[in-house]
């Protein structure tokens, strides 16, 4: 491990806005019933249901950026809409360091970061504690459907922490993931609020807010340089009962995606 990464890890320990729980705090390793479809048996972290009182200066609707990387959206949205509290979630501490450091230096009252796996999200947030979720350039996980952050498995997790009417935003360079998520929404009768296959050819409006055009993550810049289009989809997650897996022509959209696009990605971006 490089000296710079070690320095960031040490500095992360000093940030008040960054919560870095050990996996043992949320994984229940005792044998017995209660494991989910993926075999995980989770327990609640003490922060669950208490984010507004323990991490923020005042209680406000909470917005998550999952797989936030360096926290570009978390930081920018906190400036644009100060009447909401923002939490960036990622498993990579070296990435989180940049956003957490900026939040600490600027003393941002409505920003926090959580270092954990997205699979553990229900251990940290109570039902209805979250108002919106942003998925910014998530790994499309072309080989494993249940690892996609918009699969029925993850949507059920998100529904368990979102308030009624809660919204999921997906901004991605992956046409594969965009079309898969659109198929999920249509299959399950979810209300689509906005949808475009070419964001930068779309006029700005209330459904396509300024932040979508003006905030670019590290990965977005890389893909724009390669000439790839950026897609956007937002939808309401409400649905009673189990989410249904869609009929989806994986091979067709993999061909559209192309092997170059997939190999440009770094591993474990979700």
- What DSSP line would sit under 80-132, residue for residue? H-TTSEEEEEES-HHHHHHHHHHHHHTT-TTEEEEES-GGGGGGT--TT-EEE
Residue 33 structure tokens: 């019933």
Active-site residues: which are they?
A: 139
Dihedral (CA of 102, 107, 108, 110) sign: positive
Q: And the tokens for 92?
A: 């990579």
- Beta strand 85-90 with 62-66 is parallel
Strand stretches in the chain, DSSP E: 18-19, 62-66, 85-90, 111-115, 130-136, 162-172, 192-196, 231-236
Tell me the backbone φ, ψ of residue 158, rounded to 5 degrees: -65, -40
Cβ atoms of 199 and 267 within 8 Å: the answer is no
């Amino acid at each position: 491990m490089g000296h710079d990464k070690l320095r960031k890890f040490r500095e992360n320990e000093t940030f008040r806005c960054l919560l870095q729980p050990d996996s043992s705090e949320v994984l229940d390793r005792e044998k017995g019933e209660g494991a989910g479809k993926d075999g995980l048996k989770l327990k609640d972290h003490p922060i669950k249901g208490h984010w507004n009182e323990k991490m923020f200066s005042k209680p406000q609707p909470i917005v998550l950026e999952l797989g936030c990387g360096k926290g570009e959206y978390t930081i920018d949205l906190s400036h644009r809409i100060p009447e909401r509290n923002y939490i960036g979630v990622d498993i990579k501490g070296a990435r989180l360091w940049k956003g957490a450091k900026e939040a600490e230096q600027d003393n941002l009252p409505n920003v926090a970061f959580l270092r954990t796996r997205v699979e553990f999200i229900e251990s940290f947030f109570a039902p209805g504690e979250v108002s919106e979720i942003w998925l910014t350039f998530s790994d499309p996980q072309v080989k494993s459907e249940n690892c996609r952050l918009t699969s029925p498995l993850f949507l059920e997790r998100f529904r368990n922490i979102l308030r009624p009417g809660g919204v999921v935003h997906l901004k991605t360079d992956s046409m594969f993931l965009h079309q898969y998520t659109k198929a999920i929404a249509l299959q399950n009768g979810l209300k689509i609020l906005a949808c475009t296959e070419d964001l930068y050819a779309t006029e700005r409006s209330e459904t396509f807010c300024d932040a979508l055009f003006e905030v670019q993550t590290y990965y977005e810049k890389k893909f724009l340089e390669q000439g790839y289009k950026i897609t956007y989809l937002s939808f309401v997650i409400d649905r009673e009962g189990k989410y249904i897996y869609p009929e989806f022509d994986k091979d067709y959209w993999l061909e559209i995606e192309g092997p170059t696009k997939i190999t440009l990605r770094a591993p474990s971006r979700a």
